[in-house]
Chains A and B, each alone.
Chain A
Amino acid sequence: MAQQVATMDGNSAVAHVAYRVNEVCAIFPITPSSTMAELADEWAVAGIKNIWDNIPVVQEMQSEGGAAGAVHGALQGGALTTTFTASQGLLLMIPNMFKIAGELTSTVFHVAARSLATHALSIFGEHSDVMATRTTGFALFSSGSVQEAHDSALVAQAATLQSRIPFLHFFDGFRTSHEVNTLRMLSDAQIRAMIDNERVRAHRARALDPEHPFIRGTAQNPDTFFQGREAVNPFYVKLPDVVQSVMDKFGQLTGRQYRLFDYEGAPDAERVIIVMGSAAETARETAAVLQRAGEAVGVLQVRLFRPFSAAHFLSALPDSCRALAVLERTKEPGASGEPLYLDVVEALAQAVAGGRRAAMPKVVGGRYGLSSKDFSPAMAKAVFDELKKPTPKNGFTVGIDDDVSHTSLEFDRSYSIEPADVVRALFYGLGADGTVGANKNSVKIIAEEAGLYAQGYFVYDSHKSGAQTVSHLRFGPRPIRSPYLISSANFIGCHQFHLLQRLDVLRFAAPGATFLLNSPYGPAEVWNHLPHDTQQQIIDKKLRFFVIDASRVAQEAGLKTRTNTVLQTCFFAISGVLPGDAAITQIKNSIRKTYAAKGEEVVQQNFKAVEKTLSRLQEVTIPAQATSQFERAPPVPATAPEFVRRVTAKMFESLGDEIPVSLMPVDGTFPSGTAAWEKRNIADEVPVWRAELCVQCGQCSFVCPHSVIRAKYYDQAELGNAPQSFKSAPVNARGYPDVRFSLQFYVEDCTGCGVCIEACPAHSPIDPGVKAINLEPKAPLIGPERANIAFFEQLRVNDRARIDFANVRGVQFLEPLFEFSGACAGCGETPYLKLLSQLFGDRAMIANATGCSSIYGGNLPVTPWSKNREGRGPAWSNSLFEDNAEFGFGFRLAADKHLDLANAGLKALSAELGEEFIAAILNAPQIQESEIRAQRIRVAELKTKLLALAQHNETARDLLSVADHLIRRSIWIVGGDGWAYDIGYGGLDHVLASGRDVNVLVLDTEVYSNTGGQASKATPLGAIAKFAAAGKRVPRKDLALQGIAYGNVYVAQIAMGANPQQTLQAFREAEAYAGPSLILAYSHCIAHGFDLRYGMKQQDLATASGYWPLFRFNPAMRKIGENPFRLDSPRPAIPFKDYAYNELRYRALALMHPPEAENLLRQAQIQVNEKYRTYEGLAGLEVAPAAIPQTGASAGEFAPAISTAGGFER
């Protein structure tokens, strides 16, 4: 049967099958598996049917735990049910997995295997999540490529129906889930042929049914539980044969024959690598090359890991084998070996003991590829080489330099086995420039139109704005089975000129390769603008060198800044991967396909870009000698701290792979504030200050998402050494005649988002369109601004005790301790975090839920949470996604406990320390900044005194260890709506109910932003989102009202763009309130679909429409007989539509399904009206005198007695 050839990533390939053989999908997003769930949802919305001609039900749940529960329930209801997950998500499913397996229920979970968070979170590929499930009773079934993953999804489904054993089908996160490769698609007929409908009906017949009831899920006692547990054995014994028989049937049907253990290599191999997942392909390719060189080597790929069939394993392994290396993409600290290694050793030992094998071969285990660390042929060869040694290393690692435990194998980085007929191309670009999209498109064109085989793999850095991307593309006449990064490319495309300054883009250029550079300089001038090393490499490697000014061509074609079509055309024109004319025709066809729905204009603009490109692309004549006077700039200055220079800087340069183990912190502890060392220079235009127009209001620095706008006031005399370019103005407050004011823009850290420009209220009275800050080209400003910043930084930091915290104007003088995060340009979340850091950062502990804020807040190498000049700053940590409220609550418990200990210690030592001094510390008010400062001085003195006592006084030593808690700690629990409304809601609710003094900040973007915009319970009615592709049908949850319902929780709903002063007030009140506080902060997001430059304006409209009313519920107000609920925004002044339809999330539905959109819009307006009335009602409630408790439950008493310093109201 002819099979359709397609190109897609592993997730799509798996989802294609999983969707067709299931009736219910219960889902929850988690990287790198989210795509599978998204596709299922989109297909269901589009009405695509499964093989039984019905549309599967796709249901998002509140967590993976919830998804697993729903899967379990649906299975017990008789539906064929699946789910997709990874990593921590899989861990949350474990309890139900035991149940599902214990009940012998047919299902397949598809897992894009990913690291588990340990010393750090990682989103990348690894098997530690899967290994954590190996006691659940699920069959663990592995695939190693896009094609295999596609096929295995079906084999697993057929096998689970036949065997009743549930399957966990896993493939390598990112390496397989995100690799785009050519595959032969299974047709629906083939899928139908593999699925036995009788077994489907048998599955249904085992379901719970009141028509013939039985009970399942009983509790059992010592008398029977054990026997019951053993009763399943025959099913597991049979399973390997069942799977093999399914594989055989599949082989007959498709021509692709798989085995439980697939051996490939010399029949008389002496050295064999045993491995699971994508590394098997690399090992096989390497073994084939070594074999051709006469080496007796082979590779055994494990597909069915659990149940482990020793019999099948032994029969697959050549008897000739003398040395074995078991490679594992997981680590089990403290074990005598990783899981597969132990199984192999056991199987061989039993075989020897039982006489099946004559002797035990050498068996070593080793780890590779944790968190998607590349596993290359060079590493595979190193393993084969190691096996030649008389005593090969056991418990080795490969791919790193372990200079601590000396586990690592040496490998030759230059070793390459790339075939000559495969075109290998590397492209360096930025996320925003469309490089990856164009390359995905090229892969499709070449594979689907030109009949070649193609592979695409894309590497992204950890920033959300200005992210650097590297695309690895291979094209060839045979299937590409090289799941590792390209280290010898015959085409290099550098799509951003400035990357030459930051990266060695020619490092992986093969001799004679073609180098395409997007350059503002033409072929005559470009040479002198290249770093010396780049020139030398071009000469030494005899590269062909082409330039194009893609930005200009794109601009001229009307494509604005989008250069993807231009650069893609260049690639086709000079790479030779397709004949010239054919390539251009294919590009145009592809353009039509891609852009047709976006309008003829867009199509024509792209056509125009293709034509212009062909006439503008030019080859550079290479001079004989490198003449450049400059080299690439060092990633950080020599003045940076040692750790930053030795570790962080390497990561900045994409050379993190070279960092040895000895340089890594042992427990995941990293220095704060490294973001400041990374001058990314991603903006072409940056704000420039017009001091004479400025009203010094502080709005710009308040809203700046990237903390690049700083203000200081200082004595005029301090300007003496200022650079000429340094700007200042007389401070415009009365009574400070000799005081100057300066705004300093950190232009190299600016993203150019323009939010500040929109916020600036000061217009020039004479120059149209000119404000007190305006965007201007950055290039000429960098030099002077560096000098200005250096001067600005040596100006004294303004004394916090003298700054008015109560207004926005004052806040600009507070040092932000959250700076230069890699958040999206114009991010709506980060201004709130910056504000938090300014107000309370020097005494704050922050528990951060996994999500956007944990990624831009703590994804190495950049750490934006920083320290002030005194070395104080937010102590930040991320535990998980689901537990953040509890995690932060733990901070509170520890702080309260240690404060108690400190207080007790003080009292115990009062004689030694002086009673008056002790009383001053114990009774210190710590509301105002000046009071906190005074307490800091006391505590410093205390520590000095304690140090003197410490040597002979245990109590003093104890007190010293907890004395920091005498300074009032500000505990913040921060996360997005996915955490607060969904996965973490149970914990959040519990923490709010506890009455303890914690501050919860919900950065409410109304979607799961970090994983790409999936719906949460905060997603509004009528908006589309992933998992709500047809528009959300129910209103968002009102978390504020739920918090208010407790009565003793401070609740504020804020939107900085609508009312910055109210935002500030809410933060200060929440922090001062000595009970639980909840702030819901409207945060615009790129997932809303509008230009974030206008983010604050959009926030204003959200409030003006009544959709996002501003309010504060302060239980402390009861104490003075006032209504605790204050509505801070006026009645709706504009229709909801006038706010909503500025955003694609709402408009998209109107464009796709106008009647439904109209209907949802009407409902949304009704909802807004009703909700506003509810709040108005709350605001109108009078607090009757009788309702004010005279004794007992006053506002103060709502909160349980807690042992923090200060009274109830601070």
Chain B
Amino acid sequence: MNLRTRYLGFDLHNPLIAGAGPLNGQLDNIRRLEDLGAGAIVLPSVFEEQIEHEQGMIDQLATIGIDSFGEALTYFPAQTAYALQPGLYLELLRRAVAAVDIPVIASLNGFTNQGWVQYARQMEQAGASAIELNIYFIPSDISLSGGEVEQRYLDIVKAVKGVVKCPVAVKIAPYFSSVGRMAQQLADAGADGLVLFNRFYEPDIDLARLALVSNLELSSPCEMRLPLLWIGILAGRVSASLAASTGVDSVDEVVKYLLAGADVVMTTSSLLRHGIEHIKELLDGLQTWLDVRNLESLEFVRGRMSHLQVANPTAFDRANYIKMLHGDRAATATIRANSNGAR
């Protein structure tokens, strides 16, 4: 069975990618994921604030109390102050690249095109196969126009592409007036792939303490509709590779994303929920799904239900609305029966 797919120019064994998440922060897990069959691995995100914060924090911590008291002019061995680079992340990246044969994608999460662009270069130097730019920007300044926000995304992509040679994927949120146009612009700006979608960690309110709390909820299949929709619309229309990344729990979601047109499917929540061995279950499930239908290659699946390929693409547009109003099955899309496709 041929599950091969291409993503960011890489030829992957299969379309299942262990998405950016804490599990991938440990080398043993990375090795294990490869053994279990992952097509590629995205390392956990390094956050722009984290880089800045860490630099500042370490500088601050290393200098607390120095030159204040005659008996203790410092509190740490001298070299700790200057040997804090390259940092854990780059070391992990280096070791991961050495440890596995599948592509290792480094992930940067940020919202400016300043200091962290340099970090992208360091990631490339550390051997990253590609860089996933997780542009996490909430325009809480309500005077910002949509155009300005979009420009910011494009500037970041250009800035990073300006300093690295390796492929760059961009992980975006769905909150654009015209997601499709934005996707095209990102591809034009140099994005080799698009990862749909980013989930914003919307804060909750702790009623006892009256404090905002940010806790991460793992994604669930019910959240997949939006990315499914947009992958379906974008498939075949933008030059960048497409990765789906929200709500994968079982093989069903994997297949749905592939049908919609994703080149790869990323999962983080399901691995956190079920353990990293789950990736093998997903992979086995995909094979079974294809086997049952006598499909020998992903080629016969990918994009079969994209906007371009479904018989009635209006289902991507206002179909749900119609369905809700009329409760009929008119808008339900079906695979166009093609005897050449199924053997």
| A positions within 8 Å CB-CB of B | 31-32, 34-35, 38-39, 41-42, 45-46, 123, 174, 178, 430-432, 434-437, 440, 458, 460, 463-464, 467, 469, 560, 595, 597-602, 604, 763-770, 824, 855, 1009-1013, 1024-1026, 1029, 1086-1087, 1089-1091, 1144-1145, 1147-1148, 1150-1152, 1154-1155
Report if B85 contacts A (CB, 8 A): yes
Report if B69 contacts A (CB, 8 A): yes
Q: Considering only CB atoms, which chain A residue lies closest to B52 in the complex?
A: A601
A1012 engages B71 (CB within 8 Å): yes
| B positions within 8 Å CB-CB of A | 51-52, 55-56, 58-85, 87-88, 91-92, 95, 115, 118, 208-211
A1151 to B80 alpha-carbon distance, docked (Å): 9
Residues of chain B within 8 A of A174, CB atoms compared: 70
A451 to B152 alpha-carbon distance, docked (Å): 48
- Say how far A461's CB is from chain B's closest CB, in angstroms: 9
A42 engages B79 (CB within 8 Å): yes
Q: Which 3 A-B pairs have the closest CB atoms?
A: A431-B68, A599-B55, A1012-B72
Which of A34, A38, A432, A1009 sits near B68, CB closer than 8 Å?
A: A432
A804 to B147 alpha-carbon distance, docked (Å): 67
Residues of chain B within 8 A of A1010, CB atoms compared: 71-72
B67 engages A45 (CB within 8 Å): no
Residues of chain B within 8 A of A1013, CB atoms compared: 72, 74-76
B79 engages A45 (CB within 8 Å): yes
Given contacts A1010-B72, A1026-B76, whether A824 and B65 have CB atoms under 8 Å apart is yes
A882 to B71 alpha-carbon distance, docked (Å): 18
Give the A-B contact count at a CB cut-off of 8 A.
158
Given contacts A597-B82, A824-B65, A1089-B64, whether A768 and B210 have CB atoms under 8 Å apart is yes
B210 engages A1144 (CB within 8 Å): no
Q: Considering only CB atoms, which chain B residue lies closest to A471 in the complex?
A: B67
A-B contacts, 26 of them at CB < 8 A, read A31-B70, A38-B77, A41-B77, A42-B79, A432-B65, A432-B68, A595-B59, A598-B58, A598-B82, A599-B56, A600-B115, A601-B52, A602-B56, A763-B209, A767-B210, A768-B211, A1013-B72, A1013-B75, A1013-B76, A1025-B76, A1086-B65, A1086-B75, A1089-B61, A1144-B58, A1148-B62, A1154-B95
Which of B52, B77, B208 sits near A1029, CB closer than 8 Å?
A: B77
Residues of chain A within 8 A of B91, CB atoms compared: 1154-1155
B67 engages A1029 (CB within 8 Å): no
Residues of chain B within 8 A of A599, CB atoms compared: 51-52, 55-56, 59, 85, 115
Q: Considering only CB atoms, which chain A residue lies closest to B26 in the complex?
A: A1158
Given contacts A600-B115, A1144-B80, A1151-B84, whether A1089 and B71 have CB atoms under 8 Å apart is no
Extra contacts, 7 of them, besides A460-B69, A1086-B75 (Cβ < 8 A), are A39-B78, A42-B77, A434-B63, A598-B81, A601-B51, A602-B55, A1013-B72
B77 engages A45 (CB within 8 Å): yes
A1151 engages B88 (CB within 8 Å): yes
A824 to B61 alpha-carbon distance, docked (Å): 14
A769 engages B73 (CB within 8 Å): no
Given contacts A437-B67, A1011-B72, whether A42 and B78 have CB atoms under 8 Å apart is yes
Residues of chain A within 8 A of B208, CB atoms compared: 763
Residues of chain B within 8 A of A1154, CB atoms compared: 88, 91-92, 95
Which of A34, A597, A1150 sits near B88, CB closer than 8 Å?
A: A1150
B210 engages A764 (CB within 8 Å): yes
Residues of chain B within 8 A of A32, CB atoms compared: 70-71
Given contacts A600-B115, A602-B55, A1154-B88, whether A1029 and B61 have CB atoms under 8 Å apart is no
Residues of chain B within 8 A of A469, CB atoms compared: 67-68
Given contacts A31-B71, A464-B65, A1011-B71, whether A597 and B81 have CB atoms under 8 Å apart is yes
Q: Considering only CB atoms, which chain A residue lies closest to B86 in the complex?
A: A1151
A1090 to B62 alpha-carbon distance, docked (Å): 9
- Say how far A562's CB is from chain B's closest CB, in angstroms: 8
Residues of chain A within 8 A of B61, CB atoms compared: 1089-1091, 1144
Which of A598, A824, A1087 sits near B84, CB closer than 8 Å?
A: A598
Given contacts A602-B55, A1086-B65, whether A597 and B210 have CB atoms under 8 Å apart is no
A599 to B56 alpha-carbon distance, docked (Å): 8
Given contacts A437-B66, A1024-B77, A1154-B91, whether A855 and B210 have CB atoms under 8 Å apart is no
A178 to B81 alpha-carbon distance, docked (Å): 20
A1152 engages B83 (CB within 8 Å): yes
Which of A34, A766, A1091 sits near B210, CB closer than 8 Å?
A: A766
- Say how far B215's CB is from chain A's closest CB, in angstroms: 16
Which of B68, B73, B87 sits near A464, CB closer than 8 Å?
A: B68
A997 to B38 alpha-carbon distance, docked (Å): 66
A770 to B210 alpha-carbon distance, docked (Å): 9
B77 engages A1026 (CB within 8 Å): yes
A979 to B70 alpha-carbon distance, docked (Å): 20
A604 to B112 alpha-carbon distance, docked (Å): 16
Residues of chain B within 8 A of A1024, CB atoms compared: 76-77, 80
Residues of chain B within 8 A of A1150, CB atoms compared: 88
Residues of chain A within 8 A of B63, CB atoms compared: 434, 437
- Say how far B31's CB is from chain A's closest CB, in angstroms: 14
